[in-house]
């Protein structure tokens, strides 16, 4: 390529100078032979013609090669492919990955869709799953509130921001330590947690396989992983007093037994389901789960980044730079936790490693629960999750969310403390280097670092993984330009990109 570029650049003036109309002699009258003396005027002219043809040929060949390289950087040698990637934003190493198969939805999933969108299943009669998980907002909240309102009169504030429901189809059940399926004797979460204690936690480095098995919890649904399956999860919001607020399972079953559903339930699950409240509720939740699994809009993989991975779209210079910083283990290192590469088994990246981390996000003083200074949402160790509350080494840990469609959100982190990506980025960049810009000061003027976790658990907070490995006063990992570019890249993770 560079040879070509050089040879394209140099001969241009030669072509201009030897343009036939300006330099070549006028056509000779018929019958008259030109003087053939070697070194004579005609000899020089034909030599010039040959040189001209060779140069023209070279230029055309180079132009064709350059055109080909621009169109198919992946077919070029690495160095050329990368040069083209830098210039045009085309992916020099496109990959193939498997999207979930798209098939017509089953009758059960269609029932699930109806239930998902039905406000009459709530105590207020005004709220459905879709109120907080809006299809036109990547199944996340449709407004910029930190938490949503719900309850019997739609006046009670929620505890946490609703996550996007996209890309949960591959979420593993909650576990701690190495793959529990390998163990001979089944272990409880508490046993697993105790076994994991004292084991050096592996540092998370973008692009590198972890050096040790994960000793932090992984998998599960909700910010603290307390639900294991979409089916079990769905009953949570239906009976949560600040959400759909049914007072108990009986109240849910009564609503499911409305005339409009009776026939369908009977047909799909057999008439016995109408006389067994537990079974009815369980089948209804199964239907809601099937909807989230079968409807392709929950895992469309239609972002610009997906198409770029496949070599079907080009990133802008800002997006490309942002991607590189995102993957750079010494800079943003986002991919250390928000995995950005196609998995070894050919599945598209989920932008989460499904693990739990304590990032020390600042307290959101606007939350109703936080009016009580003694209240702390500590994620995995409670208070909403209760089973591993004794495992205090996990206090403050929350599930790493997917960053797919994150740029469509208006409330970030488990407490919704930030409302735009710029503030999220400032948190990652400045938490250690300039904590005074992230946390408030107390009455005496002291910066309240990690103000949303009791002091005794603050050692759980991640200070090992970049960009959190910087010290106070050091240069931050990212410049303002870097941050703008990473945000530009994050926007390429929104579904619904149209490829030409
Ligand atoms: C009032 C708002 C609200 C309503 C209504 C609501 N949710 Fe949620 N949803 C939330 C919040 C808040 C969370 C996170 C809760 C937590 O982490 O403790 C959540 C979490 C979830 C999750 C887990 C997502 C993840 O990434 O772990 C699923 C799945 C889900 N909701 C499905 C549903 C279904 C199905 C319904 C209807 C039956 C529903 N939600 C109704 C607010 C709501
Ligand atoms: C050490 C692991 C880790 C690294 C590195 C990391 N994140 Fe995160 N990220 C998390 C966890 C865990 C959360 C949730 C924390 C919470 O809510 O308390 C999160 C949350 C987020 C959110 C909020 C998403 C939502 O739905 O609310 C965004 C945006 C985000 N990260 C972007 C980034 C970017 C950009 C980078 C690189 C600068 C990055 N993360 C680096 C683990 C990580």
Q: Ligand 1 pocket test: pick from 137, 157, 160, 222 the residue with the most ligand atoms within 8 Å of its Cβ.
A: 222
431 SS3 class: coil
Q: Are strands 156-157 and 149-150 parallel, antiparallel or unpaired?
A: antiparallel
Q: Ligand 2 in contact with 485 (CB < 6 A)?
A: no
pLDDT band, residue 44 (cuts 50/70/90): confident
For the stretch 236-289, pLDDT in tens is 999 999 999 999 999 999 999 999 999 999 999 999 999 999 999 999 999 999
| Ligand closest to CA 477 | 2
Whether residue 454 has pLDDT greater than 50: yes
Q: Is the CB of 237 under 6 A from ligand 1?
A: yes
Query: What residue's CA is closest to ligand 2, atom 42?
Result: 400
- In this predicted model, which residue has the larger pLDDT, 400 or 75? 400
The answer, yes or no, to whether any atom of ligand 1 lies below 6 A from the CB of 206, is no
What integer is the mean pLDDT of 397-408?
A: 98
Of 363 and 201, the structure prediction assigns the larger pLDDT to 363
CB-ligand 1 contact for 327 (6 Å cutoff)? no
Ligand 2 center from residue 429 Cα (angstroms) = 12
The vertex-290 CA angle with 286 and 296, nearest 5°, equals: 165
- Say whether 287 sits in a helix, a strand or coil: helix
Nearest-angstrom CA–CA distance, 5 and 283:
66
Q: Which residues have C-beta within 8 Å of that of residue 279, sequence separation ≥ 6?
A: 269, 272, 273
137 close to 408: Cβ distance less than 8 angstroms = yes
Spell 15-32 as b/e; 16+ CB within 10 A means b.
Answer: eeebeeeeeeeeeeeeee
Ligand 1 centre from 232 Cα, in Å? 12
Which of the 8 DSSP states describes residue 312? S
Is the beta carbon of 412 within 6 A of some atom in ligand 2? yes
pLDDT digits (tens, 9 = 90+) for 295-332: 999 999 999 999 999 999 999 999 999 999 999 999 99
- The per-residue pLDDT of the chain, averaged, comes to 88
Tokens 């599960």 identify what position?
220
Our answer on whether the CB atom of 286 is closer than 6 Å to any ligand 1 atom is no
Task: Identify the weakest region by mean pLDDT among 17-26, 287-296, 437-446, 479-488.
Answer: 17-26
Number of H helices, E strands in the chain: 16, 6
Q: Which two tokens stand for residue 60?
A: 């055309």
- What confidence score (pLDDT) does residue 213 get? 56
Q: What is the pLDDT of residues 418-432, one digit of tens each?
A: 999 999 999 999 999
Could you tell me the sign of the dihedral formed by the alpha carbons of 258, 261, 263, 266, in that order? negative
Q: Alpha carbon 412 to chain centroid distance?
A: 13
Cα–ligand 2 centroid distance for 378 (angstroms): 16
Structure tokens at 35: 């003087």
pLDDT by residue (tens digit) across 131-162? 999 999 999 999 999 999 999 999 999 999 99
Which atom of ligand 1 has the smallest separation from the CA of 401? 26
Q: 72 falls in which pLDDT band (50, 70, 90)?
A: confident
22: CB partners within 8 A, 6+ apart: none
CA of 409 to the centre of ligand 1 (A): 15
Residue with the smallest CA separation from ligand 2 atom 36 is: 334
Q: What is the pTM of this model?
A: 0.88
**Residues paired with residue 221 on neighbouring β-strands, in sequence order:** 227
Per-residue pLDDT, 185: 59
pLDDT of residue 211: 57
């Amino acid at each position: 390529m560079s040879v070509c570029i050089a040879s394209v650049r140099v001969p241009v003036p030669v072509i201009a100078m030897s343009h036939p109309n300006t330099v070549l002699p006028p056509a000779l009258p018929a019958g008259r032979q030109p003087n053939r003396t070697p070194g004579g005027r005609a000899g020089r002219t034909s030599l010039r013609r040959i040189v001209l043809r060779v140069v023209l040929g070279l230029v055309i060949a180079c132009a064709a090669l350059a055109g080909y390289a621009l169109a198919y950087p992946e077919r070029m040698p690495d160095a050329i492919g990368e040069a083209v990637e830098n210039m045009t934003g085309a992916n020099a190493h496109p990959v193939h990955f498997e999207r979930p198969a798209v098939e017509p939805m089953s009758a059960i999933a269609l029932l699930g869709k109806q239930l998902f969108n039905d406000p009459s299943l709530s105590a207020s009669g005004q709220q459905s799953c879709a109120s907080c998980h809006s299809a036109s907002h990547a199944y996340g909240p449709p407004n910029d509130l930190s938490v949503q309102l719900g309850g019997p009169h739609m006046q009670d504030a929620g505890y946490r921001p609703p996550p996007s429901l996209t890309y949960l189809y591959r979420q593993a059940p909650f576990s701690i330590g190495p793959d529990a399926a390998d163990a001979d004797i089944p272990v409880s979460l508490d046993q697993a947690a105790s076994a994991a204690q004292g084991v050096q936690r592996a540092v998370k480095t973008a692009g590198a396989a972890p050096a040790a098995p994960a000793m932090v919890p992984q998998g599960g649904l909700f910010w603290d992983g307390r639900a294991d399956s979409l089916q079990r999860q769905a009953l949570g919001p239906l009976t949560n007093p600040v959400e759909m607020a049914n007072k108990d399972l009986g109240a849910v079953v009564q609503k499911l037994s409305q005339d409009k559903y009776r026939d369908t339930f009977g047909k799909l699950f057999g008439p016995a389901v109408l006389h067994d409240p537990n079974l009815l509720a369980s089948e209804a939740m199964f239907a809601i789960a099937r909807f989230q699994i079968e409807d392709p809009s929950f895992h469309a993989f239609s972002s610009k980044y997906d198409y770029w991975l496949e070599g079907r779209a080009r990133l802008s210079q800002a997006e490309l730079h942002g991607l590189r910083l995102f993957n750079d283990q010494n800079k943003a290192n986002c991919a250390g936790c928000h995995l950005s590469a196609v998995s070894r088994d050919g599945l598209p990246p989920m932008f989460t490693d499904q693990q739990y981390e304590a990032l020390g996000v600042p307290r959101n003083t606007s939350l109703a629960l936080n009016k009580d200074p003694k209240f702390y949402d500590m994620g995995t160790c409670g208070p909403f999750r209760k089973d591993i509350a004794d495992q205090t080494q996990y206090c403050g840990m929350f599930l790493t969310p997917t960053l797919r469609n994150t740029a469509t959100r208006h409330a970030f982190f488990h407490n919704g403390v930030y409302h735009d990506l710029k503030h999220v980025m400032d948190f990652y960049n400045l938490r250690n280097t300039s904590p005074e810009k992230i946390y408030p000061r107390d009455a005496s003027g002291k910066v309240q670092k990690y103000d949303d976790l009791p002091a005794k658990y603050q050692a759980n907070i991640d200070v090992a993984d970049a960009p959190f490995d910087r010290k106070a006063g050091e240069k931050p990992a990212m410049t303002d330009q870097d941050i703008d570019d990473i945000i530009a890249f994050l926007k390429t993770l929104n579904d619904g990109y149209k490829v030409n």
